[in-house]
A and B are shown apart, each in its own frame.
Chain A
Amino acid sequence: MDEKGKRLLQAINENSEYAFNEFYRMYAPFVLKIAKQLVSDPLEAEDICHDIFLEVFEKPGEYDDAKGTVKAWLAVKTKHRSIDRLRKKKPVLVRKLEQLDTKEAVKTELEVLKSLEKNVLLEALAHLPEKQREVIYGAYFENKTQTELARTLNKPLGTIKSNVRYGLNNLRKYKKLRQWFA
């Protein structure tokens, strides 16, 4: 499949629309799967998929087979574009965060969340209900809920909560949050 993908990319480079159609047919479901997983929104995922393939059509020569397979190239491209979308569209990020309702769900998304600028993430978190914010925030810093943090740190839950709230509202100090708890 990858050899075919490379040949199609070469043909796209020579302006073959037919090769592009074939390439799109082969890889669009894969790109969509990743985009949907990363942005948790089917319409945004389609938008990302569209942009990815348009970029492929315009710059097929960007693929470097020394770095990996065509699928890997598309996967990494999709990830970058999805993160960019989350960064630029706060409602999309908020909707994504809303769906992270368990610690496990947050853990699988940490790589994406960590790619976002902290202020972007914290601003989006501020739109969530407190309980959910707590789950994400705890998982983000130490994979712990605020209750677990309170127990671990032997601090009153109220202190932890107010510190978290303060952290959410004070973007410059987020990095020191763990130090405040300790």
Chain B
Amino acid sequence: MTKHVDEMKIVDCVLNRLDEREKRQVEAHLKTCSTCREKWGHWRAVLAQESEIEPSDALNRRMTFSIQRKVAPFRHTRWRKPLFVLMSIAAFMMFAIGLKQHGDVWPIHEPDMAKKGYVIAQHDAVPEQKLLLEPETNRKPVMPLINENISGEIWLNTETNELMFLADGLVPLERNDYQLWIVHVGDYWNGHLLELRDGSTRVYYKAEDIRSLKYLKVSVEPQGGSLTPTGPEIFHIDLIEAEKGR
């Protein structure tokens, strides 16, 4: 009895991906084997349709989150309640005062928050707030995934439901943008392009329940941003793990 041709070879035959020698062998076999011939006919019918189908946004999102669940979360560093906080408070106060003096501090738009469920602001738009002064605020340094020259930290206050993400050393990109992804426990997300100033980014985020956040990540995306993360990741900050590690 002739041994059947592996189905992958049959598919490659239909896709015209075999070299001449293999093609001749498979075609010769098909003439004598009705089982393989039926398979060949089946694949020819299935693959005859020219157009391929683009996955929906819903599938893309689901795929991304399934993969995220599989990849190892970021390296652990414990939250510090810190001496560092005291030092940073001064820096932040100077920053806030500086902004106020320039008159370009944006207030938090509560109606906007009611509509979207969160407020996000960057750089000059970061509202004057007490996040860094609050005793409940915790700071955590975060490690970049691909470039040691980049540094980052996150400030999180689960009482006031506020968060601040700061990073330095980001290289401006000519044809791409950095995009921040704020991912919630329910597996939905908000994506925001990061505004760079001298390689730094400052992002403020306030939500109705900050504990509903699962992780933040920053990835390199095509200019103007993507609907779903596609590029290499710079940061991946697991907020659930971070909370546990407090």
> Which residues of A are interface residues toward B (Cβ below 8 A)?
2, 15, 17-18, 20-21, 24-25, 28-30, 32-34, 36-38, 42, 45-46, 49-50, 53-54, 57-58, 67-69, 71-73, 75-76, 79, 108, 110-112
> Which residues of B are interface residues toward A (Cβ below 8 A)?
6-9, 11-12, 15, 17, 38-39, 41-43, 45-47, 49, 51-56, 58-59, 62-63, 66-67, 70-72, 229-233
A20 to B233, CA, bound (A): 13
* A73 in contact with B8 (CB, 8 Å): yes
* A108 in contact with B45 (CB, 8 Å): yes
Indicate whether A17 sits within 8 Å of B71 (C-beta atoms), given known contacts A33-B53, A72-B8: yes
* A29 in contact with B8 (CB, 8 Å): no
* A28 in contact with B55 (CB, 8 Å): yes
Cβ-defined partner of A71 (8 Å) among B15, B49, B58, B62: B15
* A24 in contact with B53 (CB, 8 Å): no
* B42 in contact with A33 (CB, 8 Å): no
A38 to B53, CA, bound (A): 14
Indicate whether A49 sits within 8 Å of B12 (C-beta atoms), given known contacts A71-B17, A111-B39: no
* B11 in contact with A72 (CB, 8 Å): yes
Q: Chain B contacts of A15 at CB under 8 A?
A: 71-72
Residue of A nearest to B72 (CB): A15
Cβ-defined partner of A38 (8 Å) among B15, B46, B62: B46
Closest chain B CB from A171 CB (angstroms): 24
